Amino acid sequence: MHAAVDVDRLQRDLEAIVGPRRVSVRAVDLDTYARDMWPRLLISYREGVAPAHRPHVVVWPEHVREIVAIVKLARELRVPIVPYGGGSGVCGGAVPLHGGITIDTKRMQQLRSVRSDELICDVDAGLNGERFERELERRGYTFGNFPSSIYCSTVGGWLATRAAGQLSTKYGKVEDRVAGLTVVTGRGEIIETDGPNRALRGPSWSQLILGSEGTLGLITSARLRVAPAPQLKVFRGFEVADVATGLQAIRRVLQKGLRPAVIRLYDELDTLMNSMGSHDDPVAKQARDAHATPIPPIETGALPAWPGAAPEHDEGFIERLVNLAKGKHLKRDAMHAALGKSQLVNKLFGTVAEKLARRGCRLIVGLEGSRIRTEVEAALTFHELETSGARDKGEDPGWAWVKHRYAVSYRMSPVFRDGAFVDTMEVASSWDRLTDLYNSVRGAIGRHAVVMAHFSHAYPDGCSIYFTFAGTASSAEAAERVYDSIWRDGLEAATRVGGTISHHHGVGLLKAPYMAGEHREAMAIFDAAKASLDPDGVFNPGKMGLRPRPPRPR
């Protein structure tokens, strides 16, 4: 549908809608909005390669009526639109494949109301997640969504990708907390989904829009369910002999009807690499005592090199790994040496990681809510874990996790700076397939990179697995080939055993080729919704595995 763009006219027409101060064609802005945090793009960005796709113009609307006018202009000029929130996505969903208009929603950032009688709030889509939660807390409530990107993501981005915060076991994913949306469609129409009259309107339109990543329209605001701010928070650490024991313990807890806010199991390598060190950490104690979550320090992590061909017999190598787990910095060449031998490192930890860590696998559990209920539920949860073979390690490991809970968002940059790459792959399945999913995907990724995993976002019927992998190559082109191989093999392995290709990071460009394989006939429903709500293909073309739309006659 996209025609050649007359940038001068486009700029003038947009300035007539929102004013000249909220429109930009500056090179620095176009470069900034050419990408999100998709690690594949960061590889070329590190090498100074110019972005392959840039918007023609960036615009910052403040009102829904301005977005309506922008959509109507885009339809008239046959120019695509890419919605943009915080830019924290990791799947390329904000990449402007065909240029056009990037709409940044962050000037739409009001928490408009909180209705205590209904436990519902009205909030603009551009509001920063951390500011949203702090404002709710000030009023005595919580939304309960705490992703690791909370400092740099927006409410609208959460909705567009069906995000899941770290406490999703209690509060659910964001789609579980939505009472209605306000959306500007590709026709330039405003629709309000659901609400008290949904029974008169047919199916839940909210669930159709949620997770569509800006391909059906732009979410401008939402009515979201909130909960009273917790009176009590309890966090605790446990250890289990192995992954299988830990998964059995988690499943038993949830299928007994207990709902901890967070329950996370780390495999042997992730347990070692994320060791918190001393439990006498004064900052962790402060967090525990004050129920605070301070921003963690930014640390550099990398695997050390070994001198010989059999590192499993090298005590010095083992000691360097332990030092790494405690946050000590290592040289760039050491990291590359280790990542270049990823299969050997994975084999090492697959056989002796428990012995090295001397603690099996770490399990973190946290509960929050009203005081009496939380105390009772915590006692029942801890009893169930111990009955399942978990060993209680006290409060300190749990509160140490709280201290570092957002650290992962700040640990990528040093790895890219030193010439390697790192990413995460989150897949999910029902409990009966979860062990096969773990072994299958871990094996597929492990052929190309060092890989570790933790299990989080657990529910009575299944759980998500969060794989973290790191690799290196001799050039940017070679790194991209390795990166693509990791994702191809990993997602094919997930699909092969009946897992889903994404739990909460979205699809974007990264996973678009795998949508048809997972959703099959249901893609026809998605495509029909696209044809109805966005007949000219204005919104975020090329994403989510949707078929390109032919130009409509004018």
Lowest mean pLDDT among 21-30, 174-183, 512-521, 529-538: 512-521
The larger pLDDT score, comparing residue 199 to residue 78, is at: 78
Place of tokens 């390795």: 482
C-alpha distance from residue 317 to each of 144, 177, 304, 305, 313 (Å): 42, 48, 7, 7, 8
Kindly report, residue by residue over 162-171, the tens digit of the pLDDT. 999 999 999 9
pLDDT score at 313: 42
The larger pLDDT score, comparing residue 459 to residue 302, is at: 459
Question: What share of the chain in percent tops pLDDT 70?
Answer: 81
- Closest to 353 measured CA to CA, from 318, 324, 393, 323: 318
Whether residue 291 is predicted with pLDDT greater than 50 in this model: the reply is no
Across residues 237-255, what is the average pLDDT? 97
Give CB contacts under 8 A, 24+ apart, made by 316-322: 318/356, 321/272, 321/356, 322/272, 322/275, 322/356
Three-class SS string for 403-415? HHCCHHHHCHHHH
Q: Do β-strands 120-124 and 232-240 pair in parallel, antiparallel, or remain unpaired?
A: unpaired
Q: List CB contacts of 550: < 8 A, sequence separation 6 or more.
A: 1
- Of the pLDDT bands very low, low, confident and very high (cuts 50, 70, 90), residue 300 is very low
Strands, E, within 154-306: which ranges?
178-185, 190-192, 217-225, 227-228, 232-240, 262-266
pLDDT score at 343: 58
For the chain, domains (ranges, CATH) are 7-105 (3.30.43.10), 111-228 (3.30.465.10), 232-496 (3.40.462.40)
Token readout for 399 is: 């509160």
Whether residue 226 is predicted with pLDDT greater than 60 in this model: the reply is yes
Whether residue 256 is predicted with pLDDT greater than 70 in this model: the reply is yes
Q: List CB contacts of 290: < 8 A, sequence separation 6 or more.
A: none
- Closest to 345 measured CA to CA, from 478, 468, 486, 449: 449
pLDDT score at 315: 44
Average pLDDT, the chain: 86
Kindly report, residue by residue over 406-436, the tens digit of the pLDDT. 887 777 788 888 889 999 999 999 999 999 9
Whether residue 373 is predicted with pLDDT greater than 50 in this model: the reply is yes
- Closest to 66 measured CA to CA, from 8, 126, 111: 126
pLDDT score at 196: 59
- Closest to 161 measured CA to CA, from 209, 113, 196, 195: 209
Whether 365 contacts 381, CB under 8 Å: yes
- Write the single-letter amino acid at 467: F
Across residues 180-189, what is the average pLDDT? 97
pLDDT score at 412: 78
The total of other beta-carbon atoms located within 10 Å of residue 548's CB is 10
pLDDT score at 342: 55
pLDDT score at 305: 37
Whether residue 65 is predicted with pLDDT greater than 50 in this model: the reply is yes
Whether residue 397 is predicted with pLDDT greater than 50 in this model: the reply is yes
Helix (H, G, I), strand (E, B) or coil at 447: coil
pLDDT score at 547: 82
The dihedral sign for the CA sequence 432, 436, 442, 445? negative
Q: Cα–Cα–Cα angle for 396, 402, 408, nearest 5°?
A: 125
Across residues 316-345, what is the average pLDDT? 50
The larger pLDDT score, comparing residue 217 to residue 472, is at: 217
pLDDT score at 430: 97
- Of the pLDDT bands very low, low, confident and very high (cuts 50, 70, 90), residue 355 is low
